[in-house]
Chain A
Amino acid sequence: MAVDKQERNKHYISRKESREIAKNNSKMIRNFEKQKKRKIRPEEYVTEMKDPNNIVEFDDLHTFFFSDAGTVKAVNGVTFSVPAGSTVGVVGESGCGKSVTSLSLMQLVQAPSGQIVSGSIRFRADMFKLDEHGRKIPVYETETDEDGNDKLDENGNKIYKLDARGKKIIKKNELGGNMYEMEREVVDIAKMPTQAMRMIRGREISMIFQEPMTSLNPVFTIGNQLDEVGKLHIEGISKEKVKERSIEMLNLVGIADPEGVYKKYPHELSGGMRQRVMIAIALLCNPKLIIADEPTTALDVTIQAQILDLLREIKGKINGSIMLITHDLGVVAEMADYVVVMYAGKVIEMGTAEDIFDRPLHPYTIGLQKSKPTVDQVTDELYCIPGFVPNPINMPNYCYFRDRCDKCMEKCSGEYPGYVQVTPTHKVACYLYKDMAKEETNG
């Protein structure tokens, strides 16, 4: 009975405790907000990549939510990277922190309760070069000879083209916007001020959200919502050019009647069409990284097949990378080059798709794959992982999977296992493979 009572009172918070939590939360939140509000100079967030081939590197990222019931460690030390031009699949059950990881990358975590506490997210961005006043430096049209080289005057300076009023004309880029001098910088998004982040969000990184039904605004037409992105992120673009670009994007995502859809409202479209519109919005500014947060969960299998096909096709066209967040192992197997498996806010296993699907190591990954019925195999009884995901408040300090694991050892009650590099591409956080790795290094 005593155990019963304990079990019952597990979620109970006394008044005193609750007051303490609230006090602590407000203190923490105030600190973090203060940090964000102060003037941050570019030197503070410009860093270097560990591996120049990567486009994004998450390094020991911690994103916490300071809730009334206690601190929820939604992302608790996540480290992985997205190589340029590849698709990385992030898999896990609901509540494992995969969405929060992607929202951290976009700086869209629900503040003030949600805060990036520590760690860094390095992103290789094309940033605008700024002059000493903090203004962007435009590129002007110059007179050129037949070979395309700039003509020079007697002092060796470029000759600029002038408009009717004698002003220099700003060069247009391929999207039809003004061209500015750019520089390739590596920035730490976790430390970046919101103002600077706006230059990246939508232009360099864009996101396809989970529910196409709820993420489009019902009171604006599709065209309106597409144009908004263009007007905001492509500076100096004309209205006609924006519309042209929007319709081109609708065409690209396989909408049969782009001009018609341009004038429609979201409720007039089906789920698959809305998801296509979401993808069109995400692609409008030629982003280098697309975050697809459960892009097909709300769709039927036949529509899902269409959308996945489209995503794959588009990735080739824009030559970008995709971070695909999903709980469906089938989707990941089909789309991803690299797979990251998350559990309770931590990455428990990562590697190439072949590593994860052919040689899964962590008991959770194995369980997850066995528990999904497949069309091409017949099993009498599905394997099921016993128990539930632990309560995100007051996580234990041993391996989070210990209580559900069928290969649990004595060692597992110790501190949280570190990563074991099994092969150059395959990492796992489990004590089972500690010795194996040692043997390999010895041999």
Chain B
Amino acid sequence: MADKKTKKADVTGEETIKTEQPAEVLETAAAVEEPAAEVVAAQEETAATSEYVSDAFLEVRNLCKYFVVGTNFFGRPNKWLKAVDNVSFKLQKGKTLGIVGESGCGKTTMGRTILRLHDVTSGEVWFKGEKISDLSNREFDKRRPHMQMIFQDPYASLSPRLTVGEIIGEAARQHGMVDKAGFYDYVIEVMKMCGLQPHYFERYPHEFSGGQRQRICIARALALKPELVICDEPVSALDVSIQAQIINMLIELRKTLGLTYVFISHDLSVVKHISDEVGVMYLGTMVEYGSKESIFENTLHPYTKALFSAVPVPNVHVKMNRVILKGDIPSPVNPPSGCKFHTRCDNCMEICSKVAPEYKEVEQGHFCACHLYNSEEDTARLWAAYEEEQRRIAEEYAAKHAKHKPEKVAEGEDDGAEAPAEVQGIPEGEHSGQAASE
């Protein structure tokens, strides 16, 4: 085992990628045109920064998770659902990161991808200075006890055929953390910590209410003495009074055990209560990230503003100045071009529908991906890059067209009419250059 590890360390940049990336992705990269190019680009980016060593407790760099939703005639994927697209953040030990967003924005997928319950498409996950996204499954299994997850629905995530004691202690026994003789005492200790009575040990999950089941789920996660716990909507299925009990318990456990949480929830008030840092996700991308104070007091992104104003406040005298978003969240299979939020945004500008905004640090420790906070140079640079890209596409298109139908090249105007729609969308000034290049 040790040899294997050293070998892995020796291998340099690009080779690492080749050996470690799922075979499926590599194949597609060779075969299919557009999205595959992005996958390759993402890989190259990873390769370029492979010398990097993380100093944070948990760091996620350019994490992507694409699901294949369509294949061509030969079974090769040609359509992707970008559930998580280029997400990066750093988290220090003992802090809590709250992830908020609408349903379908990729919060849960991100949590699961960090724990490698899904394969990583590209990007890196660093845990305690170690790149866990590249480890083999067998190697990674050794680190699993350090990172645990509390799943979403306490009604669905407990096996109905196992007793509570077995559910909680199963993983600890599997990882050899406890022997047969000490099993009962070990489990009882964990149960007490989570507010479960000892005589629940031999009961079955169906005998419990939602709040109690959630406690069992938490006990199951904590039985392995983890350092990082990913809580995936731990309180959304519970009543208000039970919710408060569970939240208080999670905070208490964080203090006593020194846990680090990634707290995924759609409930902003809960996230505000429990988190130190907050990340807002929309359609697979992180649109805003920062400390709790900076996010809630100095909200930057229009989506975050709309999200915050939509939360009903239990006070009759507060008159809401609602920013009501129009329409629904677009389909992640076919996301809007440019900024993904531009279809619902009140402050939409011309650039928004064409160029994707950069995710950059607007204030100290406060990241945001929005064109509103671009400087003039930034805007100019993005426009230039966009034009360059469009020109390249147009050229490629023309070249391809020339190859297939050589007789049509002479009729330049026809060609122009058939060029991709995006080319025509370029503002006035660029058209002359475009025509010349064609």
| Chain A interface residues toward B at CB < 8 A | 4, 7-8, 11, 93-94, 256, 270-273, 300-306, 308-309, 327-334, 353-354, 357-358, 367-369, 371-376, 378-379, 381-385, 388
Whether A357 pairs with B315 at a CB distance below 8 angstroms is yes
> A375 and B269 in contact (CB under 8 A), knowing A329-B240, A334-B320, A382-B247?
yes
* Shortest distance between the CB of B331 and any CB in chain A (Å): 9
Q: In the assembled complex, which residues on chain B have CB atoms less than 8 Å from the CB atom of A373? A: 244, 247, 269-270, 272-273
B243 interface hit (Cβ, 8 Å): yes
Whether B273 pairs with A302 at a CB distance below 8 angstroms is no
Given contacts A376-B313, A388-B211, 15 further A-B contacts (CB under 8 A): A93-B242, A271-B103, A300-B102, A300-B266, A305-B312, A327-B240, A330-B311, A358-B316, A371-B240, A372-B240, A373-B270, A374-B314, A381-B248, A385-B244, A388-B209
From B16-24, B26-34, B322-330, B350-358, give the one contacting chain A: B322-330
Whether A306 pairs with B325 at a CB distance below 8 angstroms is yes
1/0 per residue, CB under 8 A from A, across B294-328: the answer is 00100000000011111111111110101011011
B interface residue count range (under 10 / 10 to 19 / 20 to 34 / 35 or more): 35 or more
Whether B314 pairs with A371 at a CB distance below 8 angstroms is no
1/0 per residue, CB under 8 A from A, across B271-287: the answer is 01100000000000000
1/0 per residue, CB under 8 A from A, across B256-267: the answer is 000000000010
> A333 and B211 in contact (CB under 8 A), knowing A327-B239, A368-B241, A385-B241?
no
> A330 and B211 in contact (CB under 8 A), knowing A301-B307, A309-B322, A368-B240?
no
Q: In the assembled complex, which residues on chain A have CB atoms less than 8 Å from the CB atom of B272? A: 373, 375, 378
Whether A304 pairs with B244 at a CB distance below 8 angstroms is no
Q: In the assembled complex, which residues on chain B have CB atoms less than 8 Å from the CB atom of A375? A: 268-269, 272, 296, 308, 311, 313
18 contacts between A and B (CB under 8 A): A4-B199, A270-B328, A305-B310, A305-B322, A305-B324, A308-B312, A334-B320, A354-B316, A357-B314, A371-B244, A372-B240, A372-B243, A372-B269, A374-B313, A374-B315, A378-B272, A384-B245, A385-B241
B132 interface hit (Cβ, 8 Å): no
* A333-B272 Cα distance, complex, nearest whole Å: 20
Q: Which residue of B lies closest to A272 (CB)?
A: B328
Q: In the assembled complex, which residues on chain A have CB atoms less than 8 Å from the CB atom of B327? A: 256
* A330-B268 Cα distance, complex, nearest whole Å: 12
Q: In the assembled complex, which residues on chain B have CB atoms less than 8 Å from the CB atom of A300? A: 102-103, 266, 329
Whether B316 pairs with A302 at a CB distance below 8 angstroms is no
* Shortest distance between the CB of B278 and any CB in chain A (Å): 12
* A303-B322 Cα distance, complex, nearest whole Å: 12
* A334-B312 Cα distance, complex, nearest whole Å: 7
**How many interface contacts (CB-CB < 8 Å) are there between A and B?**
124
* Shortest distance between the CB of A200 and any CB in chain B (Å): 31
* A371-B242 Cα distance, complex, nearest whole Å: 9
* A373-B248 Cα distance, complex, nearest whole Å: 11
Q: Which residue of A lies closest to B314 (CB)?
A: A329
Task: List 9 tightest A-B contacts by C-beta distance, closest first.
Answer: A330-B312, A371-B244, A305-B310, A373-B273, A384-B244, A329-B314, A93-B239, A300-B102, A385-B241
Whether B314 pairs with A330 at a CB distance below 8 angstroms is yes
Q: In the assembled complex, which residues on chain B have CB atoms less than 8 Å from the CB atom of A327? A: 239-240
Q: In the assembled complex, which residues on chain B have CB atoms less than 8 Å from the CB atom of A309? A: 322, 324
> A11 and B207 in contact (CB under 8 A), knowing A302-B102, A302-B306, A374-B269?
yes
Q: In the assembled complex, which residues on chain A have CB atoms less than 8 Å from the CB atom of B273? A: 373, 379, 382
* A272-B324 Cα distance, complex, nearest whole Å: 13
Q: In the assembled complex, which residues on chain B have CB atoms less than 8 Å from the CB atom of A332? A: 314
Whether A331 pairs with B241 at a CB distance below 8 angstroms is no
Q: In the assembled complex, which residues on chain A have CB atoms less than 8 Å from the CB atom of B245? A: 384
The A interface, classified by DSSP as helix, strand, loop or mixed, is helix
> A301 and B310 in contact (CB under 8 A), knowing A371-B240, A382-B244, A388-B211?
yes
Whether A7 pairs with B270 at a CB distance below 8 angstroms is no
Q: Which residue of A lies closest to B252 (CB)?
A: A381
Q: In the assembled complex, which residues on chain A have CB atoms less than 8 Å from the CB atom of B313? A: 330, 333-334, 374-376
* A303-B310 Cα distance, complex, nearest whole Å: 8
* Shortest distance between the CB of B228 and any CB in chain A (Å): 23
* A28-B311 Cα distance, complex, nearest whole Å: 46
> A371 and B270 in contact (CB under 8 A), knowing A301-B307, A333-B316, A353-B316?
no
* A368-B272 Cα distance, complex, nearest whole Å: 18
Q: In the assembled complex, which residues on chain A have CB atoms less than 8 Å from the CB atom of B102? A: 300-303
Q: In the assembled complex, which residues on chain B have CB atoms less than 8 Å from the CB atom of A270? A: 328-329
* Shortest distance between the CB of A94 and any CB in chain B (Å): 6
> A384 and B241 in contact (CB under 8 A), knowing A7-B199, A300-B102, A334-B312?
yes
B393 interface hit (Cβ, 8 Å): no
* A301-B308 Cα distance, complex, nearest whole Å: 9
Q: Which residue of B lies closest to A371 (CB)?
A: B244
B348 interface hit (Cβ, 8 Å): no
Q: Which residue of A lies closest to B310 (CB)?
A: A305
| In-complex Cβ contact of A371 among B103, B243, B309, B318 (8 A) | B243
| In-complex Cβ contact of B268 among A301, A308, A331, A388 (8 A) | A301
Q: In the assembled complex, which residues on chain A have CB atoms less than 8 Å from the CB atom of B199? A: 4, 7-8
Whether B312 pairs with A331 at a CB distance below 8 angstroms is yes
B251 interface hit (Cβ, 8 Å): yes
* A273-B327 Cα distance, complex, nearest whole Å: 9
Q: In the assembled complex, which residues on chain A have CB atoms less than 8 Å from the CB atom of B308? A: 375
Q: Which residue of B lies closest to A305 (CB)?
A: B310
Q: In the assembled complex, which residues on chain B have CB atoms less than 8 Å from the CB atom of A301? A: 102, 266, 268, 307, 310-311
Whether B307 pairs with A302 at a CB distance below 8 angstroms is yes
* A94-B211 Cα distance, complex, nearest whole Å: 12
* Shortest distance between the CB of B100 and any CB in chain A (Å): 9
* Shortest distance between the CB of A372 and any CB in chain B (Å): 5
* A328-B315 Cα distance, complex, nearest whole Å: 12
Q: In the assembled complex, which residues on chain B have CB atoms less than 8 Å from the CB atom of A330? A: 311-314
Q: In the assembled complex, which residues on chain B have CB atoms less than 8 Å from the CB atom of A381? A: 248, 251
* Shortest distance between the CB of B102 and any CB in chain A (Å): 4
* A353-B314 Cα distance, complex, nearest whole Å: 10
* A300-B310 Cα distance, complex, nearest whole Å: 9
Q: Which residue of A lies closest to B330 (CB)?
A: A270
Most buried by B among A11, A302, A372, A381: A302
Q: Which residue of A lies closest to B197 (CB)?
A: A7
* Shortest distance between the CB of A193 and any CB in chain B (Å): 37
* A330-B327 Cα distance, complex, nearest whole Å: 23
Whether B307 pairs with A382 at a CB distance below 8 angstroms is no
* Shortest distance between the CB of A328 and any CB in chain B (Å): 7
* A273-B331 Cα distance, complex, nearest whole Å: 14
* A369-B315 Cα distance, complex, nearest whole Å: 10
* Shortest distance between the CB of B423 and any CB in chain A (Å): 29
Whether B239 pairs with A382 at a CB distance below 8 angstroms is no
* A421-B159 Cα distance, complex, nearest whole Å: 49
Q: Which residue of A lies closest to B246 (CB)?
A: A384
Q: In the assembled complex, which residues on chain A have CB atoms less than 8 Å from the CB atom of B211? A: 388
* A327-B317 Cα distance, complex, nearest whole Å: 20
